[in-house]
Chains A and B, each alone.
Chain A
Amino acid sequence: MILDVRALTRRFPVRGGHGAVHAVDDVTFAIGHGESVGLVGESGCGKSTVVRLVTRLDDPTDGRIFFEGHDVGAIPAKRFARTAARGRIQMVFQDPADSLNPRFTAFDTIADPMRRLGESAMRARLRDRVHEVADLCGLPAELLGRYPHQLSGGQQQRVGIARAIALEPRLLVLDEPTSALDVSVQAVILHLLADLRQRLGMSYLFVSHDLNVVRMLTDRVLVMYLGRIVEQGPADVVFEQPAHPYTRALLSAVPADGGGPRSRICLTGEPRSPIDPSPTVCRFHGRCPEGFERCEREMPVLRAAGAGRDHEAACHLLDAPVGSAVS
């Protein structure tokens, strides 16, 4: 395991009020060496908070984060910038325009992590190394002297990727790396990312709400809803045989490509409030088309689902199948 996250919890106090927003609640997952794990869910489900916690930009309220066997969750985010593990967990941001310093040229942006964290051998041949990394990301050398506003969106994202892989990280967190790009550029960047993972042997935590992209790029998928993981398993299994009603609804919203019409599951009702949610009610209750009385009494925990190995879902239906469980 390269990353092992246990019972991760992050609560934010509500400004000028009582209670706390439970952004991430009791999340446990692991990423193996060279594995690519997808994290999906709707806006506000806590994906980005998980990313900030795993990349150690934010401190968890509770829970532990083990990276390569070390408890990195115990190091305060403020001090983590200067530890050895910093260069080994890197990230590609969602909005390339926002994630590049407007006053840094592409060269300086890519060189910054090497100057700060690189070993002296790497700093000695900084120029060569920057060119090497830029080349790996398909960034022509003549663009290295440019400022971000002089680059296109796709070029900006290549700079962002080059910066992230400059230190040869073992874990690369990708926070919706293509959602701010034009559709034509998206595919190119996704191919680049898939290619880089192969070449450099990195592990990916791939966050997205584009399910087709997740399916293409990941081995395993985590589905989050209101701060909790509701289903996890191998990508094929989760996409073919979703066990949680939320995953089924999510997948039914993906436009079917060429095939017959997919039956849409339309969710009704309001999502539950993330502010001090009841610990004994399923987070999906009220919006779940298949909710029943037990969902109001007891919070479902992850349990084995279906035949696939490692496939788990947090739903009472898996214990007590009711007639309507299959849709």
Chain B
Amino acid sequence: MTGFLRHARYVVTENPVTLVAFGLLLFLVVLAFIGPTIAPHDPLATDTARKLEPPTRAHWFGTDQLGRDILSRVVVATRLDLAIALGAVALSFAAGSLLGSCAGYFGGWTDRLVTRVMDTIMAFPLFVLAMGIVAALGNTLANIVYATAVINVPFYARMARAEVNVRRDAGFVHAARLAGNGPARVLAVHVFPNCLPPMMVQVSLNLGWAILNAAALSFIGLGVRPPTPEWGIMVAEGAAFMVSGEWWIALFPGLMLMLAVFCFNLLGDGLRDLIDPRRRT
């Protein structure tokens, strides 16, 4: 464990971009945990007397059309947005790597079946598919997570399949069989962990993408419902006021969204280095 910590410190200090990314991640995670307690105002409290105020000392990010404090809403929304992204990515990572690594390792009909199903999913315009799933299953938070997960599964499955496939005839796999590991154990303990580093890059890019996807679903009115604070809805609501000059309503949640996606995209390389023992010196 101390070895891992030492390695983590090495990875973070070696690359300044990784340091920035992990710093941003830490900021977002802390915000997600303590957001509701540090928000200066109640994110749901309306005050029509002070609606559409530009940023002031009392309301740093201004107020929206119902007089709600935008800073508080942006801060409180962090938890929900991160939870949706993490939940969706975790689900698709788990399902995709299980399906993909079985397809890559066992080949034959398992491979054909998994590949065809994944190709079928990818044949749909993915965002439209997500819309369809949410519309069909019902407009709930859980369904947004499921829909985002489903449209991401093929990417993980294809990647896991390719990564497992190139390793399935490696010497250490034969050696593992000689050491008495059965097929499931060879796959789970010896082959799959070696596929993790490239998949971590995919995970981090995907986190950003999942946040955007959830926000986009909310933007078009599916998913999270007003008045729940969520970056996507807030951008959607603010968009209507942009033309009349009230730019702050859409800008600040949009900036946060950008910051989160930016952070996850930068995180990729660092996460890979962290998980790859060959980077250890």
Binding site for B on A (CB under 8 A): 55, 57, 78, 81-82, 86-87, 89-91, 93-95, 98-103, 112-113, 116-117, 147, 149-150, 160, 163-164
Q: Are A86 and B171 interface neighbours, CB within 8 A?
A: no
What are 7 of the A-B contact pairs (CB < 8 Å)?
A: A86-B178, A86-B180, A93-B171, A101-B176, A103-B193, A112-B181, A160-B175
Most chain A CB within 10 A, of B170, B180, B280, is at B180
Interface residues of B in 170-206 (CB under 8 A from A): 170-172, 174-183, 190, 193-194
Q: Of A93, A117, A147, which contacts B180 at CB under 8 A? A: A117
Flag whether B116 is at the interface (Cβ < 8 A): no
* Bound-state Cα–Cα, A53 to B181, Å: 18
Residue of B nearest to A80 (CB): B177
Contacts of B281 in A (CB 8 A): 150
Contact count A vs B, C-beta below 8 Å: 71
Q: Are A81 and B193 interface neighbours, CB within 8 A?
A: no
Q: Are A81 and B180 interface neighbours, CB within 8 A?
A: yes
Q: Are B182 and A82 interface neighbours, CB within 8 A?
A: yes
* A87-B180, A116-B179, A117-B179 known; A102+B277 contact, CB < 8 A: yes
Q: Are A57 and B174 interface neighbours, CB within 8 A?
A: yes
In this complex, how many residues of chain B approach chain A with their Cβ under 8 Å: the count is 20
Q: Are A81 and B182 interface neighbours, CB within 8 A?
A: yes
A204 to chain B: closest CB distance in Å? Answer: 16
Given contacts A89-B178, A112-B179, 6 further A-B contacts (CB under 8 A): A93-B174, A101-B172, A102-B172, A103-B277, A147-B277, A150-B280
Contacts of A147 in B (CB 8 A): 277-278, 280
Contacts of A150 in B (CB 8 A): 280-281
A19 to chain B: closest CB distance in Å? Answer: 22
Q: Of B170, B178, B194, B278, which contacts A149 at CB under 8 A? A: B278
* Bound-state Cα–Cα, A174 to B44, Å: 72
* A102-B277, A147-B277, A147-B280 known; A116+B174 contact, CB < 8 A: no
Q: Are A102 and B180 interface neighbours, CB within 8 A?
A: no
Residue of B nearest to A90 (CB): B178
Residue of B nearest to A145 (CB): B3
Q: What are the 7 closest A-B residue pairs judged by CB atoms, nearest first?
A: A99-B171, A116-B180, A113-B179, A98-B171, A117-B180, A101-B172, A112-B179
Secondary structure dominating the interface of B: helix
* Bound-state Cα–Cα, A149 to B194, Å: 14
Most chain A CB within 10 A, of B170, B175, B194, is at B175
Contacts of B171 in A (CB 8 A): 93-95, 98-100
Q: Are B170 and A98 interface neighbours, CB within 8 A?
A: yes
Binding site for A on B (CB under 8 A): 170-172, 174-183, 190, 193-194, 277-278, 280-281
Q: Are B278 and A102 interface neighbours, CB within 8 A?
A: yes
* Bound-state Cα–Cα, A144 to B194, Å: 20
* Bound-state Cα–Cα, A163 to B172, Å: 11
* Bound-state Cα–Cα, A116 to B181, Å: 7
Q: Are B172 and A98 interface neighbours, CB within 8 A?
A: yes
Contacts of A57 in B (CB 8 A): 174, 177-178
* Bound-state Cα–Cα, A193 to B178, Å: 19
Contacts of A113 in B (CB 8 A): 178-180
Q: Are B280 and A93 interface neighbours, CB within 8 A?
A: no
Contacts of B277 in A (CB 8 A): 102-103, 147, 149
Residue of A nearest to B280 (CB): A147
Q: Are A78 and B174 interface neighbours, CB within 8 A?
A: no
Contacts of B172 in A (CB 8 A): 98-102
Q: Are B278 and A99 interface neighbours, CB within 8 A?
A: no
A5 to chain B: closest CB distance in Å? Answer: 18
* Bound-state Cα–Cα, A90 to B174, Å: 11
* Bound-state Cα–Cα, A57 to B186, Å: 13
Contacts of B176 in A (CB 8 A): 101, 112
Contacts of A112 in B (CB 8 A): 176, 179, 181
Contacts of B178 in A (CB 8 A): 55, 57, 81, 86, 89-91, 113, 164
Residue of A nearest to B275 (CB): A103
A254 to chain B: closest CB distance in Å? Answer: 28
Contacts of A149 in B (CB 8 A): 277-278
Residue of B nearest to A94 (CB): B171
Contacts of A116 in B (CB 8 A): 179-181
Most chain B CB within 10 A, of A78, A99, A160, is at A99
Contacts of B278 in A (CB 8 A): 102, 147, 149
* A82-B182, A149-B278 known; A101+B190 contact, CB < 8 A: yes
Contacts of A78 in B (CB 8 A): 183
Q: Are B194 and A101 interface neighbours, CB within 8 A?
A: yes
Q: Are B174 and A163 interface neighbours, CB within 8 A?
A: no
B270 to chain A: closest CB distance in Å? Answer: 19
B101 to chain A: closest CB distance in Å? Answer: 15
* A95-B171, A102-B277, A147-B280 known; A82+B180 contact, CB < 8 A: yes
Residue of B nearest to A160 (CB): B175
Q: Are B180 and A163 interface neighbours, CB within 8 A?
A: no
Contacts of A91 in B (CB 8 A): 174-175, 178
Contacts of A101 in B (CB 8 A): 172, 175-176, 190, 194
A158 to chain B: closest CB distance in Å? Answer: 14
Q: Are A81 and B280 interface neighbours, CB within 8 A?
A: no
B2 to chain A: closest CB distance in Å? Answer: 12
Residue of A nearest to B185 (CB): A116
